[in-house]
Every structure is written in C-alpha cells, then in structure tokens.
C-alpha cells in the first residue's frame, strides 16, 4: 500500500523541536526525510538528557536522549558542514532534488551560505521552503532567538495558565513549539498541493509567537470581542460550569459538564434533588454567575466517593468525566494497547526504542513506522545514493572535500 506522501522528498535543516516535529509528521505519512545535522554534536537535543536510551551493554547512549527520540523517527541523517563550500554546495544539490525544505535558523542565517529561500528557489522553482522562527521574517523582533518558553509568556498563554492566586505557569510540554510544528505541517501540505498543481513553490514564514497567539482561541477572542482580559482560573473553565477537577475519596477526578442537559443528568446521578431547577443554576449563564455555589454543591456531593466507580457511573450516563493520570497510568491504560499508541522499534543490535505512534488512523494511507530515529549520519550515504546517484567513490570524494566536517 502506497503511503500518502510516498515519493515526496524533504530536506530537513531544522533542529530541536518545532521543525523536527513537523518533519516527523511528514515522515510518518511516507515522505523521505533527510535530516541534516552538525558534524560532531548533531541535533542539539541529542544531548538533552537524561534519560538516554540504553545501549546493548546497558549503559546510557549519549546522543540518544528521550527528547531527541521523541521527534526524529522515520528519518535518515547526514552530517554536513554548511560553512564549508563543499558542504553548502552539497545542500544545494540536494535541494534541487527536494520537494520541501524545512529550516529554523535565525532570520538571514542561511543567506550567507546561499541556502536561503530565494537562492534555493532559483535552483528549484517548485520548492516548498518553510522557515520556522521565534518571531517571523518581518516585524520588530526578527533578530531574537526563538524559544518555546518565551513564546508561551509573550503570547499570553502563561497569563491564563495556573492557579488563580498563583504566578504565571508554562505548560508542562513545549506547546508553542509543538503547535508551530503542526501549523507548519498543514501549511507545507497546502503549499505542496499548490506546487503540484502549478509548478510554483513558495516560502512559508511561520513563527512561534504568531502560533501561540493563534492558539489563544476563545481566550483571545474574548478580549477582541468583549475587551475581557482573562486571568488564571486553575482547572476551571472561563465560561462553562461545573467544569473542573473535584476532590474525591482517593484523589482527584475531572467532571466537565458542557451543557444544560448534562447538568441535569449530573444532578440526578448525584442525588441533588431540586438543584437542576434552582434558578441560580438552571442555565449555563446562571451557573457561571453562581460558580462558587454550584461548584461547592458538587464538591460536597462527591468528596466521600471513590473516583473510579464514580467516573464509570458518570460516563455511563453520558456525563464527561475522567481521571487525572500520571504517565505510568497513561501508558498502562487499556486504551493504549487497543489503539496501538506505542510502537516499539528494534535495532539490529537488539536495542528496543519505544515511540508514541502517529495518532490519526488513516483508512487508506496509514502512517508507517519504518525507521527508528537515526544516529548522527545514519542512512546518509544511502540517501545520497538515492537522491544524487552517488556511489561509494562519490561519497568518499565529498568526505575528502570537507563537506562532512
């Protein structure tokens, strides 16, 4: 069965997370992704540990951090010295054969090597060239470095995240990077469709800050529409009540009532006679105006009840509810086995590499878990043979020229 992106070649000049997250998605869907790394150290995230993957002798493999492994499967690696003439020449040759280039250098950082969008489009007019930066190719902050933490703060996300009486809080994973990677992938696929139809490539300019502001969603629109500057609400929802975590006898669970019908079911299941008809709580807007009162009533009703049986009771009635799991509990959930959420690669040396699989299930062109994340340079010679027709002597000539550092 042919993969959705079979035959599409991606030259990946990105590192850390937003770019590699995007190119991993493309690779999962069948694209041939060649990851260009810095000779010696490779992608910065190779060293971002511990934890590191255990080698065949049981010791840590430096350069195989969990962070790196999370976003680089299904790729081949080639270590190239971009600063050398032979190295930049090699990248131009590869770009001439590529359909997509993804890079996350600082604005203008690749121009000095002749690897910027304009230079590569002169070689390959149909090329989809995606630049991921912290603040975009234009605007007042173009020369600033791009970091997820900064984008979460500057983009307003941290002002609405955390407890009401606490300080600003970033998300526990790099949400600005990850969402930028997703938006980049959507944009790349749209541009690829255009290039296939017209032969015209284009330059995609996407930034962490643009994306983080877009991801404010309803919170951002609350300000634009109503002048409301939302604050931190902990686990409460800004407009839907009751919709939060509640203490139960053995921990904490989530109850997320999304409409008036679900609220009546909740009251019935918890034996809260008359509460659903109380004019303070009958409608969504009434419950919002009387948030503390209704949340207190629900909390009193569930405090002495064990969580798991309560969740089962509520979900059986169509009331959204669930646990607050630790990661060991997440990966022990029967959902994970049933949905094939974890894929395990096995290298030739016997080392097993777990990976969280591509989440969407495509009926005709499913994602393909075919390659474990590469070691630095792994698969590079093979890719050069396929992309450029280089044999062993051609590879040795490049090596002698200093292209590989």
Res 258: pLDDT:
95
Rounded to whole angstroms, what are the CA distances from 179 to 14, 23, 144, 323, 338?
Answer: 16, 13, 20, 25, 26
- Read off the pLDDT of residues 144-163 as tens digits, 9 standing for 90 and up: 999 999 999 999 999 999 99
Could you give phi then psi for residue 15, rounded to 5 degrees?
-150, 175
The mean pLDDT of 161-181, rounded to a whole number, is 96
If we measure between CA atoms, which residue out of 355, 62, 17 comes closest to residue 178?
Answer: 17
Rounded to whole angstroms, what are the CA distances from 248 to 272, 294, 300, 330, 342?
Answer: 17, 16, 9, 20, 31
Res 314: pLDDT:
98
Res 192: pLDDT:
98
If we measure between CA atoms, which residue out of 276, 265, 246, 255 comes closest to residue 320?
Answer: 255
Q: Which two tokens stand for residue 383?
A: 């890719």
Res 230: pLDDT:
92
Q: Is the preceding peptide bond at 92 cis, omega within 30 degrees of 0?
A: no
- Read off the pLDDT of residues 100-151 as tens digits, 9 standing for 90 and up: 999 999 999 999 999 999 999 999 999 999 999 999 999 999 999 999 999 9
- Read off the pLDDT of residues 324-368 as tens digits, 9 standing for 90 and up: 999 999 999 999 999 999 999 999 889 999 999 999 999 999 999
The mean pLDDT of 192-196, rounded to a whole number, is 98
Burial of residue 212 (number of CB atoms within 10 Å: 0-12, 13-18, 19+): buried
- Read off the pLDDT of residues 234-281 as tens digits, 9 standing for 90 and up: 999 999 999 999 999 999 999 999 999 999 999 999 999 999 999 999
Res 46: pLDDT:
95
The mean pLDDT of 165-173, rounded to a whole number, is 95
Give yes or no for residue 226 having a pLDDT over 90: yes
Give yes or no for residue 13 having a pLDDT over 80: yes
- What residues contact residue 41 under an 8 Å CB cut-off, 6+ apart? 47
Res 370: pLDDT:
94
- Read off the pLDDT of residues 30-65 as tens digits, 9 standing for 90 and up: 999 999 999 988 999 999 999 999 999 988 888 899
Q: What is the pTM of this model?
A: 0.94
Where in the sequence numbering do the catalytic residues fall?
A: 177
Alpha-carbon span 397 to 259, nearest angstrom:
68
């Amino acid at each position: 069965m042919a993969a959705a992106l079979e035959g599409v070649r991606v030259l990946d000049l990105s590192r850390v997370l937003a770019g590699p997250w995007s190119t991993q998605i493309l690779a999962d869907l069948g694209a041939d992704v060649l990851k260009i790394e810095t000779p010696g150290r490779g992608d910065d995230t190779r060293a971002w540990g511990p934890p590191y993957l255990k080698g065949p002798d049981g010791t840590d493999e430096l350069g195989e951090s969990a962070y790196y492994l999370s976003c680089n499967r299904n790729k081949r690696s080639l270590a190239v010295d971009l600063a050398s003439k032979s190295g930049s020449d090699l990248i131009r040759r590869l770009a001439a054969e590529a359909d997509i280039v993804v890079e996350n250098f600082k604005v203008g950082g690749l121009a000095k090597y002749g690897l910027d969008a304009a230079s590569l489009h002169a070689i390959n007019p149909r090329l989809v060239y995606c630049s991921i930066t912290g603040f975009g190719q234009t605007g007042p902050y173009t020369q600033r470095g791009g970091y997820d933490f900064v984008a979460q703060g500057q983009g307003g996300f941290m002002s609405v995240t955390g407890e009401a009486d606490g300080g600003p809080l970033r998300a526990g994973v790099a949400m600005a990077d990850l969402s930028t990677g997703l938006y980049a992938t959507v944009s790349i696929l749209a541009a690829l469709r255009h290039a296939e139809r017209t032969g015209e490539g284009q330059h995609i300019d996407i930034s962490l800050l643009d994306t983080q502001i877009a991801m404010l969603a309803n919170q951002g629109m609350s300000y634009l529409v109503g002048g409301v500057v939302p604050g931190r609400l902990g686990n409460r929802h800004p407009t839907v009540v009751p919709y939060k975590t509640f203490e139960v006898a053995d921990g904490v669970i989530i109850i997320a009532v999304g409409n008036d019908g679900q609220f009546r079911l909740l009251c019935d299941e918890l034996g809260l006679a008359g509460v659903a008809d109380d004019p303070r709580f009958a409608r969504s807007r009434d419950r919002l105006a009387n948030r503390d009162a209704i949340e207190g009533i629900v909390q009193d009703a569930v405090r002495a009840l064990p969580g798991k049986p309560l969740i089962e009771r509520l979900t059986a009635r169509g009331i959204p509810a669930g646990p607050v799991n630790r990661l060991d509990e997440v990966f022990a959930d029967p959902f994970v086995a049933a949905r094939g959420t974890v894929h395990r690669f096995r290298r030739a040396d016997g080392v097993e590499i777990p990976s969280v699989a591509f989440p969407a299930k495509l009926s005709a062109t499913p994602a393909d878990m075919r390659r474990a994340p590469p070691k630095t340079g792994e698969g590079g010679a093979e890719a050069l043979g396929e992309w450029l027709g280089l044999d062993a002597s051609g590879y040795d000539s490049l090596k002698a020229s200093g292209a590989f550092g």
